[in-house]
């Protein structure tokens, strides 16, 4: 079926393709480097992406507050693994103060994994107020952190 991803403000088509679901369309758009800033992703099944996100941050629980701050400050850039603004794995490495290629990181770079493709929709300067993917990543991170704090509260 033909799927169109629309800008949530202007309703202009950001991306269109033939796909079986909104999820497949979003993954294809991310793979092609399409900016999904301000995309209306209603109807998208993002559970596999969220599960992958949770898998990554569960390997770096101490760095989640830094990830949250980076998302809020627009210091995430899904197109690169290193630098002040980096993708998910790069932001975790920055929070640890180590190189993203360091074996010490313990989270391999994998541009094909669902969450890294999702983070491709976030560019330097994007914040949860200006980018739908950043907003969703922030919600996931804050929810995960709140759940962990409640589960392990003394």
Report the distance separating Cα 154 and Cα 149, nearest Å. 9
Mean pLDDT of 106-115: 91
Residue 130 or 44, more confident: 130
- Residue length, the chain? 154
Average pLDDT, the chain: 90
Residue 43 phi, psi dihedral angles, 5° rounding: 90, -5
pLDDT in tens, 76-105: 999 888 888 899 999 999 999 999 999 999
Assessment of whether the complete model's pTM goes beyond 0.85:
no
Tokens read off for 146: 């709140």
Mean pLDDT for 73-78 is 96
Whether 112 shows a pLDDT value over 80: the answer reads: yes
Provide the percentage of residues in the chain whose pLDDT is more than 70.
96
Average pLDDT of the residues in 99-117: 91
Residue spans of the domains in the chain: they are: 46-151
């Amino acid at each position: 079926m033909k799927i169109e991803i629309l800008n949530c403000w202007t309703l202009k088509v950001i991306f269109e393709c033939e796909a079986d679901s909104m999820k497949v369309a979003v993954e294809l758009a991310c793979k092609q480097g399409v900016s999904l800033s301000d995309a209306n992703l209603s109807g998208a099944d993002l559970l596999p992406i969220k599960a992958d996100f949770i898998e990554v941050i569960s390997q770096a629980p101490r760095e989640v507050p830094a990830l949250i701050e980076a998302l809020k400050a627009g210091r995430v850039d899904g197109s690169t693994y290193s630098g002040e603004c980096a993708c998910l794995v790069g932001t975790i490495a920055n929070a640890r103060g180590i190189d993203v290629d360091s074996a010490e990181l313990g989270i391999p770079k994998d541009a094909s994994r669902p969450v890294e493709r999702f983070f491709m929709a976030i560019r330097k300067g994007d914040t949860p107020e200006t980018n739908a993917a950043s907003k969703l990543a922030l919600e996931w991170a804050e929810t995960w952190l709140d759940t962990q704090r409640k589960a392990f509260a003394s």
